[in-house]
């Protein structure tokens, strides 16, 4: 946790509610032009759109294999 949060930054939204992601974090996350914001339990994650699509494609089969075990009756 310490290492993960060491790169955290306090950001204040501008008048339109936007926040800036510092250049170092954008580079680290591979954020280019199009990004996706996802909910991940108690936090949110910001992904490069193509990285997110690739992640979903890679994990779709394994998720469908375990979804009935993890979330019975939901699917």
Among the listed residues 10, 15, 9, the one whose alpha carbon sits nearest the alpha carbon of residue 28:
9
Is 30 among the domain residues?
yes
Is 24 among the domain residues?
yes
Is 21 among the domain residues?
yes
Among the listed residues 58, 42, 41, the one whose alpha carbon sits nearest the alpha carbon of residue 50:
58
pLDDT in tens, 27-73: 988 998 999 999 988 888 999 999 999 999 888 877 766 655 565 65
Among the listed residues 12, 32, 28, the one whose alpha carbon sits nearest the alpha carbon of residue 20:
12
- Total domains in the fold of the chain: 1
Which is more confidently placed, 7 or 46? Answer: 46
Is 75 among the domain residues?
no
DSSP E strand boundaries for the chain: 35-40, 43-48
Rounded Cα distance between 58 and 63, Å, is 10
Is 41 among the domain residues?
yes
**Looking at residue 46, which CATH number applies to its domain?**
3.40.1550.20
Structural domain that includes position 29? 2-70
Is 8 among the domain residues?
yes
Is 17 among the domain residues?
yes
Q: Which pLDDT does position 47 carry in this prediction?
A: 94
């Amino acid at each position: 946790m310490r290492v993960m949060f060491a790169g955290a930054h306090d950001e204040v939204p501008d008048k339109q509610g936007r926040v800036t992601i510092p250049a170092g974090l954008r580079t680290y996350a591979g954020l280019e032009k199009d990004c996706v914001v996802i909910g991940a339990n108690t936090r949110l994650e910001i992904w490069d759109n193509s990285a997110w699509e690739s992640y979903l494609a890679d994990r779709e089969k394994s998720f469908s294999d375990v979804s009935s075990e993890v979330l019975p009756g939901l699917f």
